[in-house]
Amino acid sequence: MSISVQEADFDAGAEIAALSAGRDDVGAVASFVGLVRADKAAAGVDAGATAAVRAMTLEHYPGMTEKALEAIVTEARERWDIYGVRVIHRVGKLLPGDRIVFVAVASAHRGEAFAACEFIMDYLKTRAPFWKKEETPQGGRWVDARESDDQSAGRWKA
Amino acid sequence: MNVKVLFFAGLREALGTGSESLALPSDVGTVGALRNHLAARGAPWSALATTKNLRSAVNQQMVGPDAPIKAGDEVAFFPPVTGG
């Protein structure tokens, strides 16, 4: 299964190894790991203070989430000659430093692996129905979408 | 016609509910018309009108306000996504 939406943590090394296990045509595996940041500035706390974001809860739209991720992976496979893809997105409560998202792409050469990995992340950020709610000393707060994420996704338009 | 409507994230909290099944009047045939129909209930439903860049999906596919709705559809409204 190339796509997982789960509460459990993941082992990035094992996932990367699995993408080339038992085959000799993979020349490149590019991967990305996203982590929960204790974002002080966004929470209105000065940088010298203790961690502002205490925890984060990831909500998603069960059913649509998987479909949206599958559509993104399918589009990546149409654009680049890639051999394998693994996408993992965690949901539920996460703490600063926790792994939250993993994308890895196997291909013959690095160019396609890098490009497809970045494409999948950019589209995931703008098309997959996940929402982050941060717990801060001032209370709970839904994270605002960033325009820069739309711009990052927009540069892949054909 | 009957449809199921889902709400997520900050919108779900503002409305105090995550889902509702309802019968639509015959003149409500698009996602945008459904949004207006619900928002017209007044507070807290007016959040559907005031949420910035509200997104929508029909049967788990992202669509715009002109997308048609038919009986049995699952329609969802939510704020811009913030995963990753």
Instruction: Establish if B83 belongs to a structural domain.
Output: no
Cα–Cα distance measured from residue A156 to residue A154, given in angstroms and rounded to the nearest whole number = 5
Residue B56 is part of which domain span? 2-78
CATH of the domain at A103: 3.90.1170.40
A55 φ, ψ (degrees, to nearest 5):
-165, 170
CATH of the domain at B29: 3.10.20.30
B8 interfaces chain A, CB cutoff of 8 Å: yes
Instruction: Establish if B84 belongs to a structural domain.
Output: no
Cβ neighbours of A118 (radius 10 Å): 18
Give the number of domains in chain B: 1
> If you average pLDDT over residues A94-106, what whole number do you get?
97
The amino acid that residue B12 corresponds to is R
Give the residue among A57, A61, A65, A62 at the shortest CA–CA distance from A133.
A57
Cα–Cα distance measured from residue B22 to residue B1, given in angstroms and rounded to the nearest whole number = 8
Question: pTM for the full model?
Answer: 0.93
Instruction: Establish if B42 belongs to a structural domain.
Output: yes
H-helix or E-strand spanning residue A28: strand A28-35
> If you average pLDDT over residues A33-49, what whole number do you get?
73
Residue A34 is part of which domain span? 2-154
Strand partners, A130: A60
Instruction: Establish if B11 belongs to a structural domain.
Output: yes
Residues of A in contact with B8 (CB under 8 A): 59, 61, 129, 131
Interface size A-B, in CB pairs within 8 Å, comes to: 72
User: Percent of chain B, pLDDT > 90?
Assistant: 98
